[in-house]
């Protein structure tokens, strides 16, 4: 995964981290239930339980919520290529 993403900092993140889809303001985001979160330098991929899709987003720092802007589909390879 690190090789494909070309990022040596790849790590699994705590899946209990709050994840929101396309918020204009943090209080307006749609909450996503996720079962897996992968962190990269500056970006995250979170897999949604409901549809199995990988959502890309960012967070300000450790312990902060993740704010996603788009789905990259159900294939992790495709999502990694979108980084």
- Which tens digit of pLDDT belongs to each residue from 33-81? 999 999 988 799 999 999 999 999 998 888 899 999 999 999 998 998 8
Choice between 63 and 13, residue whose per-residue pLDDT is larger: 13
CB of 19 closer than 8 Å to CB of 34: yes
- Asked whether the predicted pLDDT for residue 2 surpasses 60, the reply is no
- Asked whether the predicted pLDDT for residue 5 surpasses 80, the reply is no
Q: What is the mean pLDDT of residues 22-34?
A: 79
Closest CA to 82 of 40, 31, 50, 49: 40
CB of 79 closer than 8 Å to CB of 54: yes
- Single pTM value for the model: 0.85
């Amino acid at each position: 995964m690190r090789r494909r993403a070309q990022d040596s900092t790849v790590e699994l993140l705590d899946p209990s981290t709050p994840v929101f889809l396309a918020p204009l303001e943090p209080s307006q985001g749609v909450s996503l239930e996720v079962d897996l979160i992968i962190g990269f330098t500056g970006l995250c991929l979170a897999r949604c339980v409901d549809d199995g899709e990988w959502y890309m987003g960012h967070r300000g720092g450790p312990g902060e919520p993740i704010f996603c802007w788009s789905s990259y589909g159900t294939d992790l390879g495709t999502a990694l290529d979108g980084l």
